[in-house]
Amino acid sequence: SQTIHQWPATLVQPVGSPLSLECTVEGTSNPNLYWYRQAAGRGLQLLFYSVGIGQISSEVPQNLSASRPQDRQFILSSKKLLLSDSGFYLCAWRGLAGNGVGETQYFGPGTRLLVL
Amino acid sequence: AQKVTQAQTEISVVEKEDVTLDCVYETRDTTYYLFWYKQPPSGELVFLIRRNSFDEQNEISGRYSWNFQKSTSSFNFTITASQVVDSAVYFCALTSGGYNKLIFGAGTRLAVHP
């Protein structure tokens, strides 16, 4: 079965510091991968998605970047964090989970980022 | 433009009550997909259901049921005999076209009290 991991689970960083959040998927190959952000008490916003190694699509202009160095690894980065980067970051993969549902996005446990 | 509206920000019920979460969507695509996700306090989004635009059959899974009506662009979610463990934020979402972008509603926070 497929599993998706994210780390760290929580992170407190000062303004202006760099950021690296990692997401890995197991049990599937060549998945579409996604980064979402959820601001406090708000819905989810798609930040980036990737259909393959080295292929990144950005949905919104921002202080963040994404990379996909390996098939099942997706990294979210920033060179200098802003206060507004605080939020809950969720990684997702899209695929067939083998339960007859059809293609669906499945989410990881998330990373809570607080920028002070 | 695509849009998902969940007009109910918060709902509070007592255990064993039935509760319906509303979802209204907008899209110009003829083929699209609708989803419901549950976000418990731990934060992880848990997939509940996917519905294709060409399949208007309602679905029941245990205490959960979904009512899809294309005529009113609605995809409502009903929990029968609610339980405290149902307390969470519930998101309705829509995707179409390249299938890479899920458009989420703002979510409905459901609190079930004993």
Rounded to whole angstroms, the Cα distance separating B50 from B71 reads 18
Q: A94 CA to chain B: closest CA distance, Å? A: 8
Distance from CA of B114 to the nearest CA of A (A): 24
A110: left (phi over 0), alpha (psi -120 to 50) or beta: left
A41, pLDDT greater than 90: no
A48 touches chain B (CB under 8 A): no
Whole-Å CA distances, B52 to A14, B36, B70: 44, 12, 11
Enter the tokens of residue A6: 């994210």
pLDDT tens digit at each of 114 positions of chain B: 889 999 999 999 999 999 999 999 999 998 899 999 999 998 999 999 988 898 888 888 899 999 999 999 999 999 999 999 999 999 999 987 666 788 999 999 999 999
DSSP structural state of residue A80? S
Mean of per-residue pLDDT scores for chain A? 91
Q: Which residues of A touch B54 (CB under 8 A)?
A: none
A22: left (phi over 0), alpha (psi -120 to 50) or beta: beta
For β-strands B10-14 and B108-113, DSSP reports them as parallel
Which of A44, A46, A49, A96 is the best substitution to test chain B (most B C-beta atoms within 10 A)?
Answer: A44
Distance CA B44, CA B48 (A): 12
Question: pLDDT at position B57, please?
Answer: 82
pLDDT band at A63 (very low <50, low <70, confident <90, very high): confident
